[in-house]
Structure 1
């Protein structure tokens, strides 16, 4: 074949590709931007990507690489550090915000911004979960459900129970000849705690049956809502249906046991949800209770399990920080009265350096890469109906907000109060994660006992990572846990029933509509 002709064919093909590429890249721009008329000139910089897929390709490439922050860094490089960019992600035209002040405004403004989670999240968590309900309903249900897990004073009732689980788990891990997957084991610890709080005596009967289903559910939460075998959403939807049946069984069991006055029966938040009445005397439907339980049991163990694992990894990667954290826990142990058995709320409040370690872990890991919102009313920069992605990870890894953001530096929190919108591990505003205090309490107790008595030996330190749905080592931190010294711990006696506190707290919140 004549080389000149071949060159001409290649040139035509290349030109056709460039033309189609440029044309297709403009389709979303025309569809979503041009329809705004003159207001399009007020939109922030950015591009809308490909038809149907938008910029999901760029997002997935970044989050499947070794450096997921290249996604937001690329926007900054292309359009400047404006902190606000237009794009098309998760099936919707969207605005990304990534500087503290803008993030704060979006998360604090319930009048102009509602929830904007992907279709997959809404379907998998249910219509009564906090991911789906409007602001007015959210305020009411939040008052009813978060009394037992909001504030350390409320959580003090659970310290002894958490200690029992942690101590027994650590002893079990250290006795194993084969390495454990630390993340998997931490999930079990955190799940035992949250099920105890919300399900009471029925917790033990469901622990062994739900763990795998929750893992499958979590992997589908922010996936494409494609209900076809082979897709994450399909598997997650099957997991949700199974979990709904299990939790319905819990409700049925609780109703049957409520007919028998058993003094040994431990009630949980589920019992109060079943009894609760609104101002019209209406009780929550089973479907609503199950959606709430499904969400709390999911959120109540994933974040704390991942954060505890990462704290241990970071500490062992930085021996000098590990030593300082150990010394603080030694001092707390030495100051403890001889008559005291186990930790107290006062002890935990004195773990000043450990709290810096935890905060730095939450910042560095950024377990939730974004919060999802949606504009209610037309605005100067954010059109009505567009999604708003508060890019938590972008804030936490911004060198102008945190110097050397990739470094693990607990000392950066010395005498430092984060500026509003600059520290978002649990979100912000009225929809801040209600389990934040519980998560930090669990992590503190776990680290206290781990630092005093145990050591981690990762099988593949620095191994490959995945960042979706949450950052974790591919091997779930495969490691040996070894005991450093033997100390016999005895947790303190529980002086009060945890449910007594729940009943008192919820009754104070909503008045006489709870028959207790």
Structure 2
């Protein structure tokens, strides 16, 4: 059913609340369909699609991941793992979309603005099946069938950055699993369950000796 809905632009339209539509305006990708959507999508995705563009971005992603993991492993204080991983992902997105000359202060400011927007944005209360949304956490509690979760959407609503994101995850896991390990300060500590399951305790990122 999920694939059928996402691939049928004739019978299924976007149903965002009025407040969200006003924030996104008329020319947002989420508010247009058919030919207009295709044109806007091509404009937005031109900078992150194509083999040549992907090859260039892979080098950027690799450098960010390597440097970030090395920096985190040298921190003396335990860290909040999810927040640090989020910073790595956000820095990658900013570099790809805005160029390599963006300094760390600007990236931190953009990340803070994004968090402030997401806290008050009504879109986050919508039934969206993606990590970070409460609806996704609810579905995880059910025994969902295999291949029913489509994290990047489908059809005309397929996420333009899905390929670069998959590469980012692969690169991160490659360097993390081969060169580092996590040590929780309290392995038997409690877990947070909202907006997703994660240890409440902090952890240290330790670089493995060769």
Give the TM-score normalised by structure 1.
0.36
1:173/1:481 contact within 8 Å kept: yes
2:84 matches 1:189: no
1:456/1:479 contact within 8 Å kept: yes
1:152/1:437 contact within 8 Å kept: no
The alignment's C-alpha RMSD in Å is 3.1
State which structure, 1 or 2, has the greater radius of gyration over its C-alpha atoms.
1
Say which SS state the counterpart of residue 449 (structure 1) adopts.
Answer: helix
Say which SS state the counterpart of residue 203 (structure 1) adopts.
Answer: coil
2:70 matches 1:164: no
Give the TM-score normalised by structure 2.
0.81
| Aligned residue in 2 for 1:401 | 145
Distance in 1 between the 2:124 and 2:165 partners?
Answer: 29
1:465/1:472 contact within 8 Å kept: yes
Unpaired runs of at least 5, structure 2:
none
Larger deviation, residues 477-486 vs 155-164: 477-486
2:178 matches 1:473: no
| Aligned residue in 1 for 2:112 | 212
Higher RCO (C-alpha under 8 Å, 6+ residues apart):
2
Closer/same/farther in 2, CA of residues 127 and 485 from structure 1, 3 Å limit: farther
| Aligned residue in 2 for 1:464 | 192
**1:400, distance to aligned residue in structure 2 (A):** 6.4
**1:208, distance to aligned residue in structure 2 (A):** 2.8
Say which SS state the counterpart of residue 117 (structure 2) adopts.
Answer: helix
The 5-angstrom pairing of residues 171-320 of structure 1 reads: 171-204=70-103, 206-222=106-122
Say which SS state the counterpart of residue 447 (structure 1) adopts.
Answer: helix
Distance in 1 between the 2:78 and 2:124 partners?
Answer: 35
2:192 matches 1:448: no
Closer/same/farther in 2, CA of residues 162 and 143 from structure 1, 3 Å limit: same
2:124/2:133 contact within 8 Å kept: no
2:9/2:33 contact within 8 Å kept: no
Closer/same/farther in 2, CA of residues 214 and 464 from structure 1, 3 Å limit: same
2:137/2:194 contact within 8 Å kept: no
Distance in 1 between the 2:183 and 2:150 partners?
Answer: 31
| Aligned residue in 2 for 1:485 | 209
Distance in 2 between the 1:122 and 1:112 partners?
Answer: 20
Q: Give the alignment partner of residue 133 of structure 1, picking from 32, 37, 41.
A: 32
2:133 matches 1:434: no
Deviations 1:7-30 (A, max 9, x none): xxxxxxxxxxxxxxxxxxxxxxxx
Deviations 1:57-111 (A, max 9, x none): xxxxxxxxxxxxxxxxxxxxxxxxxxxxxxxxxxxxxxxxxxxxx2222111101
The 5-angstrom pairing of residues 4-153 of structure 1 reads: 102-150=1-49
| Aligned residue in 2 for 1:268 | none
Deviations 1:32-59 (A, max 9, x none): xxxxxxxxxxxxxxxxxxxxxxxxxxxx
Unpaired runs of at least 5, structure 1:
1-101, 226-364, 371-390, 403-417, 487-516
**1:458, distance to aligned residue in structure 2 (A):** 2.8
2:81/2:202 contact within 8 Å kept: yes
Distance in 1 between the 2:83 and 2:186 partners?
Answer: 16
Distance in 2 between the 1:126 and 1:202 partners?
Answer: 29
**1:427, distance to aligned residue in structure 2 (A):** 1.4
Say which SS state the counterpart of residue 90 (structure 2) adopts.
Answer: helix
Closer/same/farther in 2, CA of residues 401 and 482 from structure 1, 3 Å limit: same
Closer/same/farther in 2, CA of residues 140 and 455 from structure 1, 3 Å limit: same
Distance in 2 between the 1:478 and 1:179 partners?
Answer: 6
1:392/1:424 contact within 8 Å kept: no
1:120/1:222 contact within 8 Å kept: yes
